[in-house]
Homo-oligomer: A and B are copies of this chain.
């Protein structure tokens, strides 16, 4: 990712239209950060709320021109189509039931599409989208984001390169605790209330939310399809109307057997997406809570800890990492906190307002001075054979 290939190819960033992900949306923030990190996109227009006031405020905060801030997707697509510099790509992060109409409209308007999972709530819609993508030749990217981790891609690449031999067994689990509380089984309020409305979230909350990730991860790493399932789906929280767990035994291509277990009702568990793949030559294990680590257990040699850009990294993984070995993914995020805190203090001073006190924790010149003095003192002490030396 070191070359800004898009700009090199096109001479400019791709123009992106946002559909959803407005105020308070976690996934909306993720989409925007993801679009910015490598600087390949420029957000040019958005539908961030159906409420005009909220939409406008949110759009301004993103630095958008007012005329390109909309409340209806159709309006936005029409307006953008009329511009020379109109949006080229649509990013969809709305409730599940609207993925289909918005993606369809975007594709029909000639936009490439980046869309949240699950792709649609029904099989018929999914099939229609696939046809539409084929017919238009446009790009459709479904944000199964866990497939973006360098070590997940390393796993896929190792399987692809035959380092595991023939695949024999798969175990995947995705265990969360966010829906474990029993006092309000289907909260109508809350950060994502539509999730508890099956008309919007789809036929199975737990399967749409996280089961889809677990299933896709199995396919992504092994390159094999699940061909048959024997399953049990339901809710363990009393009186809950949506599903909060699903288990399945899997039969896969080439005689592979597997196990699938997902739940959002495991109290206290954060976000344990975990996969184990075993082949004739060894096994791989990856867990989302420590995403920079891939365990490889060869048939006849010591177990290995693989990390991004460590020894044995394959090209697909190397391409997917922005860091040097030993610096976990998340390195630029911590770095960004210094930039953003500094930005706030700088902006506050320039605008004559006072900065958020919590922004004033970045190292300053006074800290730099302390650091230089420490180095001097350490060297002075060492020069005097370890004599205690003031800093």
In A39-80, the 8 Å CB interface with B consists of 39-41, 60-63
User: Which secondary structure characterizes the binding site on chain A?
Assistant: mixed
The complex places the Cα of A324 from the Cα of B229 at a distance, in Å, of 32
Could you tell me if B270 and A307 are in contact, using CB atoms closer than 8 angstroms?
A: yes
Contact of A181 with B by CB under 8 A: yes
The complex places the Cα of A316 from the Cα of B226 at a distance, in Å, of 44
Could you tell me if B227 and A391 are in contact, using CB atoms closer than 8 angstroms?
A: yes
Could you tell me if B227 and A390 are in contact, using CB atoms closer than 8 angstroms?
A: yes
Copies of the protein in its oligomer: 4
B residues less than 8 Å from A249 (CB atoms): 230-232, 247-249, 386
Contact of A126 with B by CB under 8 A: yes
Residue in chain B with minimal CB distance to A353: B9
B residues less than 8 Å from A94 (CB atoms): none
Can you report 16 residue pairs joining A to B where beta carbons are below 8 Å apart? A7-B62, A33-B332, A112-B346, A118-B371, A120-B368, A127-B369, A141-B362, A148-B362, A212-B371, A225-B370, A229-B377, A232-B382, A246-B378, A248-B381, A289-B292, A291-B330
Against B, the Cβ 8 Å flags (1 = close, 0 = not) of A262-279 are: 010111111110001011
Given the contacts A283-B266, A369-B126, A385 and B385 also touching, CB distance less than 8 Å:
no
Could you tell me if B271 and A326 are in contact, using CB atoms closer than 8 angstroms?
A: yes
Q: Which of under 10, 10 to 19, 20 to 34, or 35 or more describes the interface residues of A?
A: 35 or more
Given the contacts A144-B363, A267-B298, A389-B228, A346 and B139 also touching, CB distance less than 8 Å:
yes
Residue in chain B with minimal CB distance to A250: B247
The complex places the Cα of A329 from the Cα of B18 at a distance, in Å, of 24
A376 interface neighbour in B123, B356, B388, Cβ under 8 Å: B123
Against B, the Cβ 8 Å flags (1 = close, 0 = not) of A18-39 are: 0000001010011111111111
B residues less than 8 Å from A378 (CB atoms): 204, 207, 211, 229, 231, 233, 246, 248
Contact of A199 with B by CB under 8 A: no
A245 interface neighbour in B34, B169, B248, B342, Cβ under 8 Å: B169
Could you tell me if A168 and B265 are in contact, using CB atoms closer than 8 angstroms?
A: yes
Could you tell me if A335 and B33 are in contact, using CB atoms closer than 8 angstroms?
A: yes
B residues less than 8 Å from A370 (CB atoms): 215-216, 219, 225
Contact of A288 with B by CB under 8 A: yes
